[in-house]
Amino acid sequence: MLLLPALAFGLWNRPAHAEEKPVEIPAPAIALAETGTTATAVFAGGCFWGVQGVFQHVTGVKNAVSGYAGGSAETATYDLSSTGTTGHAETVEVTYDPSVVSYGELLQIYFSVAHNPTQLNYQGPDHGTQYRSTIFPVDDAQAEFAKAYIAQLDATGLFGAPIVTTIEPLKAFYPAEQYHQDFLTLNPTWPYIVYNDLPKIAALKSLFPDAYRNEPVLVGTL
């Protein structure tokens, strides 16, 4: 994949790391009332390459866009957010059909295979607040639902450590640069992708076979 020269070195040298093991977890004990055929969920869980790739393989997802949330428009770039000083987290905006896949099911996948929710301000090899585990609810109903599900999962003890996922107001979502979109699909042999992200796709297929779609829904050109 062609990258801007100044960025190619940094992206290639994101260190590989032993993949995070998925955790089989229960579905939410309650359901969130959802209507219509289009809804939005916004998640941060480490490098957005893998999080985007996971949700692109979920049936009922219409689009999954990598981007930034938590900071201002002026600092919503890879170069600036990578400093960890902008308030942004690498984030994925998921557009989905709630008549096919619910917000609760997306949260179950998010906590189970998309990332490790017990790692504070890092995810695998990536360290800094820009890699924090955060849910950005689009409304109060999503916020309360996510809070209740975190409490439910913590009570199970399945993760072996407390969940550190934060719930932050969604001020705005800013799409990432084009070269970050569909990165997992376009670069399946990159060492970082092979070691950190392809196992997440395999775990999605194994743990959520009814939700798995073989052909990902891609962003294409923004």
Collapsing DSSP to helix, strand or coil, 205 comes out as helix
Pairing, β 122-123 against β 133-135: unpaired
Judged by DSSP in three states, 95 sits in strand
Q: Collect contacts of 146-152 with beta carbons under 8 A, ≥24 apart.
A: 146/107, 148/28, 148/29, 148/30, 149/28, 149/104, 149/107, 149/111, 152/26, 152/28, 152/29
Q: Please check whether residue 55 is in contact with residue 95, taking contact to mean a CB–CB distance below 8 angstroms.
A: no
Q: Would you call 47 a catalytic residue per the annotation?
A: yes
* Alpha-carbon span 135 to 34, nearest angstrom: 18
Cα–Cα distance, 192 to 210 (Å, whole number)? 27
Strands of the 173-175 sheet, one edge to the other: 166-167, 133-135, 39-45, 89-96, 61-69, 173-175
Choose, from 47, 51, 61, 109, the residue flagged as catalytic: 47
**Where is 144: in which H helix or E strand?**
helix 140-156
Can you say whether the dihedral through the CA atoms of 101, 103, 105, 106 is positive or negative?
A: positive
Catalytic residues: 47
